[in-house]
Amino acid sequence: MYGIFSYGIASPRVGFKHGNYVLDLEVVGLLGYFDGLALDPAVFAQSVLNDFIALGKPVHLAVHQRLTELLANDTNTFAEVHDQVFIHLSRVQMHLPVRIGDYTDFYAGIHHAENVGRMFRPNADPLLPNYRHLPVAYHGRASSIVVSGTPIRRPSGQFLNESRQPVFGPSQKLDFELELGLIIGKSNPLGNPIPITDAEDYIFGVTLFNDWSARDIQRWEYQPLGPFLGKNFASSLSAWVVPFEDLEPFRVAGPTQNPTPLPYLHSDNPAHFDLDLEVWLQPDDGEHICISQTNTRYLYWSFAQMIAHHTAGGCNLNVGDVLATGTISGDTPGSYGSLLELSWNGERPLHIAKTVTRTFLDDGDRVTFRAKGRTKRSALEFGEVEGKIYS
Ligand code: CA
């Protein structure tokens, strides 16, 4: 996994996570270990991954291959330079890995969409008529995306009080949303849609993503144009970016899509992934408790379909853009990806420990998402995304 780290007096640079260490790719490059590859080690002296990402997939694959070879036997390879190239995780500070130009948030978790529909439109079909025809999304706010570990300030905003009068104050319904964030790896020119068959070539890597949400603010403001202040106060991105090719062993067919999507969204290739996801919550002076377990298979729309749809009208994506999947919920209460669903909009407080319940987040709560893939032959663990609430 790639990330941006600093330590001691060393300025932020590109690192590759290896066990409990970060491999300093600038130093590795300066020592000549990347000789023969089409890159200047200076690309790893940058404070964001964008320049490296912009070199393109053939270079990413070559670097990844070289790192795999070097690290297969790292004690021999790096024996004489170990302390120059490896920095223990406990000594590093992680930074936002990419300069994010644009951020889009999809709504591809069908169980989440159905649950929200059941709560807020109880007498209607839980899914709106467009849901199975196109991957619904809104354009989000890139400036407030922060790296994992950044404290999250409870937002104030306008919402309806118990007498259904608009008031302004600290959100009483602060929530998380369990999502993955795709890091776009290649630009398409304005006016040139990305065909679904090419769409995965545009993904550099995948992160965990927390789309913090103030439900009371969101509910009052969102019609008719969608989320605004209920979402724009902060979103958290994991510090480590998993290269997209690392997901290959976990590729699976997605859910049956009925009706069959229109041709520009249709592909017979399996384009979903089997990754286990967990949400952990730790009250200010309490234990870390796992409160939800789910899987990325529950996404209705694939990454490729999101990209094909996003660009179908000619919209250009840029290197470093983030496309988040939308909340990933399973089909049972223990697998929901938000407190809105886990507490059913506050109606059923969630018991997380003997004397601890939650409807929405309290100050001091620390929320952590984890993700991993497991097959008989492969294992993959994402870098976590974490944030603690304060006022
Ligand atoms: Ca979301």
Q: Could you give the dihedral angle defined by the CA atoms of residues 44, 49, 54 and 60, in that order, rounded to the nearest 10 degrees? A: 70
- Which residue spans of the chain are classified as CATH 3.90.850.10? 103-390
Buried b (16+ CB within 10 A) or exposed e, 260-272: ebeebbebeeebb
CA 9 to ligand 1 centroid distance, Å? 37
**What mean pLDDT do residues 282-309 have?**
97
Contact (CB, 8 A) for 342 and 333: yes
| Closest by Cα among 77, 83, 73 to 21 | 83
**pLDDT tens profile 27-82:** 999 999 999 998 999 999 999 999 999 999 999 999 999 999 999 976 778 889 99
Find the 106 Cα to ligand 1 centroid distance in Å.
7
pLDDT in tens, 141-171: 999 999 999 999 999 999 999 999 999 999 9
Burial of 318 (0-12, 13-18, 19+ CB in 10 A): middle
Q: Rounded to the nearest whole angstrom, what is the distance from the C-alpha of residue 79 to the centroid of ligand 1? A: 46
Cα 340 to Cα 348: distance, rounded to the nearest angstrom: 10
State the Cα–Cα distance between residues 303 and 308, nearest whole angstrom: 9
Q: What is the pLDDT of residues 229-266, one digit of tens each?
A: 999 999 999 999 999 999 999 999 999 999 999 999 99
The secondary structure of 337-353 as a DSSP string is: SSHHHHTTTTTS-EEEE
Query: Domain 2-95 class?
Result: mainly beta
| Distance between Cα 66 and ligand 1 center (Å) | 36
Distance 180 CA to ligand 1 centre (A): 10
**Given the DSSP bridges, would you call strands 385-390 and 86-88 parallel, antiparallel or unpaired?**
unpaired
Rounded to whole angstroms, the Cα distance separating 83 from 21 reads 11
- Quick check: 321 and 296 in contact, CB under 8 A? no
pTM listed for this prediction: 0.97
Q: Which H helix or E strand runs over 104?
A: strand 103-106
> How remote is the CA of residue 327 from the centroid of ligand 1, in Å?
5
- C-alpha neighbours within 13 Å on the C-beta side of residue 231: 19
Side chain identity at residue 205, one-letter code: G
**354: pLDDT strictly greater than 90:** no
Predicted confidence (pLDDT) per residue in 264-280, tens digit: 999 999 999 999 999 99
To the question of domain 103-390 being in CATH 3.90.850.10, the answer is: yes
The DSSP output letter for 299 is B
Inter-residue contact 294 to 277 (CB < 8 Å): yes
Are the beta carbons of 210 and 178 closer than 8 angstroms?
A: yes
Residue 143: predicted pLDDT: 98
The pair of structure tokens assigned to 25 is: 């790719």
Q: What amino acid positions are annotated as catalytic residues? A: 112
What phi and psi values does residue 352 have, to the nearest 5 degrees?
-110, -15
Task: Give the residue range(s) of CATH 2.30.30.230 domains in the chain.
Answer: 2-95
